[in-house]
Amino acid sequence: MTHWSLPSKIGFYVLLLAIAVFALFPFYYAIVSSFKSGAELFTVDLLPSWNFENYFAVFREQPFARNILNSIIVATVVVAISLCLAVTASFALARVNFRGRGLLLLTVLSVSMFPQVAVLSGMFELIRGLGLYNSLGGLMLANLILTLPFTVWVLTTFMRQLPKELEEAAYVDGATPLEIVTKVFLPVLWPALVTTGLLAFIAAWNEFLFALTFTLSNEMRTVPVAIALITGGSQYELPWGNIMAASVIVTVPLIILVLIFQRKIIGGLTAGAVKG
């Protein structure tokens, strides 16, 4: 940029400023709104006051703490199962040559791409048949369809990038494939596991369609459904202050995680989508 003229430099910084404002303003406005209550909400104001009433109200008026706990349990279990299954599967897909490997990879990819609603009625029947309707177990089962193909796909990409010498030396020493996965690959791979796990966690945390369809009671809802279904005293009046407070509560931890793992997340997303 050093050789740019002054007007293009100014233009460039205006563009950057526009990008930043466009990206940040809606969430900033949600924070500002979350601190307003009553009549204040109905005046547009761009600076926050510090009134935490909405934050208390969210927990008082509905089982929001329970909803958060539900989301944490479901997402954690689903991610743990997905990672366990994906580590060995991705080793086989990335490091062993067998016929049909490309087809299997494409199958895994297509599962991660097909519309959730296409499995809705079959999944409903399965969950009911297993007696898991309106339970966290049912949501865990359903969410595996989101996280498992994704983790397998991304870990396969990561595993492919590791040097051949890594396993060859171990094979020469007489290690079995399982030992190679657990003792050679796992130690080198844990940063990739953290990234993949985090991305899968976000996916499971945000899942809405299954959680909306397979739960019935307030207590079993996960956070996205709880936020979508917050209602006010009358059907004509939505408690926007509460909704904004709940939104801020569930988003701030995610944003902190994303900012901490920023570089790794970009790497993981790219590994999942683009192979250059």
Partner 1 sequence: MAQGDVASTGVKRPPVPAGQAGAGRPPKAAATRRSGGSELTRAKIRSAVLFLLPMMIVLALVAGWPLGRTIYFAFTNATLNDINNYEFIGFDNFYNSEWGGLLKDPQWWNAVWNTIWFATISVTLETVLGLIVALALNMRFPGRGIVRAAVLIPWAIPTIVSAQMWGWMLHDQFGVINAMLLGIGIISQPIAWTANPDTAMLAVVMVDVWKTTPFMALLILAGLQMLPSDCYESARVDGIAPWKVFFRVTLPLVYPAIAVAVIFRALDALRIFDLIYVLTSNSADTMSMSVYARQQLVDFQDVGYGSAASTALFLIIALLTVVYIIAGKVDLSGEKS
Give me the least distance between CB of 93 and partner 1, in Å please: 7
Residue whose C-alpha is closest to residue 143's, from 197, 88, 74: 74
Least Å distance, CB 141 to partner 1, is 6
Q: Which stretch binds partner 1 (CB under 8 A): 47-55, 56-64, 82-90, 185-193?
A: 82-90
* 47 binds partner 1, rule: CB under 8 A: no
Contact between 231 and partner 1 (CB under 8 A)?
Answer: no
Burial class (CB in 10 A: 0-12, 13-18, 19+), 246: buried
Write out the H or E segment, with its range, that includes residue 21: helix 6-34
Contacts of 242 (CB under 8 A, 6+ apart): 54, 57, 58, 61, 230, 232
> In which element (H, E) is residue 180 found?
none
List phi, psi (to 5°) of 142: -65, -40
Which residue in 113, 163, 217, 234 binds partner 1 (CB under 8 A)? Answer: 113
Q: Which is nearer to partner 1, 102 or 187 (CB)?
A: 102
- Candidates 55, 91, 158, 185: give the one binding partner 1 (CB under 8 A): 91
Tokens matching residue 219: 């207590």
User: Which position among 53, 177, 218, 264 is part of the footprint of partner 1 (CB under 8 A)?
Assistant: 177
- 161: its two tokens: 């990038």
The residue from 93, 136, 189, 200 that contacts partner 1 (CB under 8 A) is 93
Contacting partner 1 (CB under 8 A), which of 52, 56, 65, 106?
106
Structure tokens at 45: 């104001």
The nearest distance, CB 237 to partner 1, in angstroms, is 12
202 exposed, middle or buried (CB, 10 Å; 0-12, 13-18, 19+)?
Answer: middle
**Which range, of 48-56, 59-67, 168-176, 185-193, touches partner 1 by CB under 8 A?**
168-176
Member of 38, 100, 187, 233 binding partner 1 (CB under 8 A)? 100
> What is the C-alpha to C-alpha distance for residues 96 and 70, in angstroms, rounded to an integer?
39
User: In the window 189-228, what residues touch partner 1 (CB under 8 A)?
Assistant: 202, 205-206, 208-209, 212-213, 223-225, 227-228
Residues in contact with partner 1, total (CB under 8 A)?
105
Would you give the end-to-end CA distance of the chain in angstroms? 26
